[in-house]
Structure 1
């Protein structure tokens, strides 16, 4: 296939399936090789890893316990260890306003700089959050860092960022297009499943080696391994959609195929993460896991069986009125908050509930369009940078000291690229795409961005990973996202760089 982003036929974009290019036999064989074998290896690794959960080495347990106890919040720990602040701490409200202003200004300035360098705005905002933490500001000016971000002030800032993250996940669910899945072709089926199966398998294999060294005390291997698999499997669907739109590839075969695969991948990765949260919070005990699973099943049945039809009627009513009043906006936000509270109460995470609430909103109605228009700007411009700042305050690159930890960090990045970029490229190639187009699919699927940070913060919050491993995974998320635009322009020279 040519490297030029050739547009798809209108009947495919309209929902019809494309002509089949592979025989049923070859299609099945490729699926078994690229999906079946990794899943079999995954099951074997989980079985063998059960021994690690029961008897980790004493040294590893002591190290993980000490690391988790002293650096559960790496930013707070670094701030607490820093010299005294340069000036007395201002009143809480004034300090919070100063922090929000600093975060907002940093995010816009660094984001604009990265946009001029051909990177998406969100990449610069992620870097800005990292710069405000102990890795940059705390290392260069510890007194200033202690004055601007004292540990006692982080709880209020964290609460605001969590609300912003809930609203953002609601918007992600609102943008989720199930129609992409209905347009799935044989290539999309193979690429989507293999780009989940291979990273999941490699993530669990990596967990087999990382678990005795970096797992916090009390975490079972199954929970740790499933979390690593989910973190390796996720694709930043919202960031990916913006990159495709900015590069002019949204309607190309590569673009449509990648969006369909990314939609499948993110839903699957969040399902795996939900299972990992259940396992970790249930301490691996079946007696604690099964009630959570039963509660999750009841919740999903109620949401899709009862709430979804009501939302469709609400969408029809709003379409007839032609406008969305404040009462309807409040009702939609109440639904998102109630759904988030339900999943948090069930032992999952509140983010799952916010995402499901967004998925259930009716498509193609004035309600969804108005919600998106009224919530997106405020959330992305103000609230998400606060989340990036909090993630940066939890990330301390100084934790990766010495050649052994550095090589481990390199290994994490390499495994992430091999599973996602390599797996998606190989499966796209055997499905009939040329090497350049297949490589472009792999590069795009390797984009992790914000969704990776969301998963990592969930893992750190529930105690599934240590701060050291959290830092390594943040570096992996930044590296895989930064390489997307340059590699895409090299593979597809006709693509327009991000504006």
Structure 2
């Protein structure tokens, strides 16, 4: 069989299995990404392999899907930034507390899981603990008709703030690995200036007059991703920032991204070495889950109460902010690619992301009904 035939067959099999596992997860009341990661775990456990060249092409396609996915996610994030003031205090609670607890936990783990040094590991692990899955959160809110509720808007705005801070920390981590963080971030300035001009109304008006805006915005997403990759940061950062700049027009990339991004999550699951989970790593995983839940939910609850929210709204907010899902997995994948974390910590954090994501639906089902405003 020729190499293109092998590639197309492997792509069809992986995407088909991802769809099946995702559908099963949805039937169980879980996000499809839980099923897609599980699919990758199963594939890795049975030892399924492809030719080296084919595997490299699959990884490239998965990365392209990730770029388009984060580009669209950035576009969805942009409108929520307009209402961040009302969610600032709750967001700080949902960011500072898990970040602090994550840093303390990382100090304990650094001796065993920090291949690139303790400082970057602690900063990365703390930021990873603070992440909220903004795109998945929006999907959960839409499925439950909560997008128009006060609880939903507050959670989305807080997730926007939290993830912006986490991605900023990731930029520092990535830049510090290339010898001069200051110069790396300085090279980011012209990229940000270009994106600033693209965020102006004139560019949105130009896109609205095009019959096929995807032919413009997708290449821009790729160029932005290539620019951040070329200066030593991760390509995903550029795609995300480009989506934030362009705004809702980035949604035209979602059809392609939605087809390919399951491949990324299947390959994410495949990277988890289940055979390498030792009793010590199992204990560390349990501790990570406990600290993640207490830090994120506890910090979010305290932040909401400090902002004057009633107990019920604070509980709903804490439950929603505990959702890690897709964003956490992307974050971890970048950390693994950068060499900031090792395979053991990666596996433990993937399990944490799946557990905290799986908790959201059942916990929301036990919450009192919320007021809808639309």
User: What band does the TM-score fall into relative to the shorter chain?
Assistant: over 0.9
RMSD: 2.0
Do the aligned partners of 2:65 and 2:261 also contact (CA within 8 Å) in 1? yes
Q: Relative to structure 1, is the Cα distance of residues 179 and 244 closer, same or farther in structure 2, using a 3 angstrom cutoff?
A: closer
Per-residue deviation at 1:255? 1.0
Partner of 2:184: 292
- Answer whether contact 1:164 1:379 (CA < 8 A) is retained: yes
Structure 1 or 2: larger helix share?
2
1:224/1:280 contact within 8 Å kept: no
Higher RCO by CA contacts (8 Å cutoff, separation 6 or greater): 2
The size of the alignment, in residue pairs, is 372
Query: Quick check: 1:133–1:389 contact (8 Å CA) kept in 2?
Result: no
The runs of at least 4 consecutive aligned structure 1 residues that moved more than 4 Å come to 493-496
Of residues 261, 268, 288, the one that matches 1:384 is: 261
Matches within 5 A, 1:20-169: 90-134=1-45, 137-138=46-47, 145-146=48-49, 149-151=50-52, 153-169=54-70
Runs of at least 5 residues in structure 1 that lack an aligned partner in the other structure = 1-89, 139-144, 283-287
Name the structure 2 match of 1:316. Answer: 205
**For the Cα contact (< 8 Å) 1:339–1:353, is it kept in 2?**
yes
Match of 1:396 among 259, 270, 273: 273
The counterpart of 1:177, out of the listed 67, 78, 96, is 78
Partners of 1:466 and 1:183 in 2: how far apart?
Answer: 35
Counterpart Cα distance in 2 of 1:398 and 1:436: 42
Question: What's the TM-score, normalizing by structure 2?
Answer: 0.93
Aligned equivalents of 2:370 and 2:297: distance in 1? Answer: 21
- Equivalent of residue 254 in structure 1, options 116, 129, 151: 151
Q: Please state how far the C-alpha of 1:94 moved relative to its aligned partner.
A: 2.0
Instruction: Map residues 335-484 of structure 1 onto 2, 5 A cutoff.
Output: 335-363=220-248, 368=249, 372=251, 374-380=252-258, 382-402=259-279, 404-484=280-360
Deviations 1:188-234 (A, max 9, x none): 22110121111111111111111111111xx2322111110121111
Which residue of structure 2 lines up, in the alignment, with residue 49 of structure 1?
Answer: none
Shift of residue 101, structure 1, vs aligned partner: 1.4
User: Residues 108 and 414 (structure 1 numbering): CA distance in 2 closer, same or farther, change over 3 Å?
Assistant: same
Aligned partners of 1:194, 1:281: CA distance in 2, in Å?
Answer: 32
Q: Which protein is bigger by CA-based radius of gyration? A: 1
Q: Where does residue 199 of structure 1 map in the other structure?
A: 98
Change (3 A) 1:239 1:343: same
Distance 1:174-1:362 versus aligned 2 partners, 3 A rule: closer
Shift of the alpha carbon at 1:317? 3.3
What whole-Å deviation, never above 9, does each CA across 1:322-356 have from its counterpart, x for those lacking one?
xx434x42221221111111111111111111111
Pick one of 92, 110, 113 that aligns with 1:211: 110
Unaligned runs of 5+ in 2: none
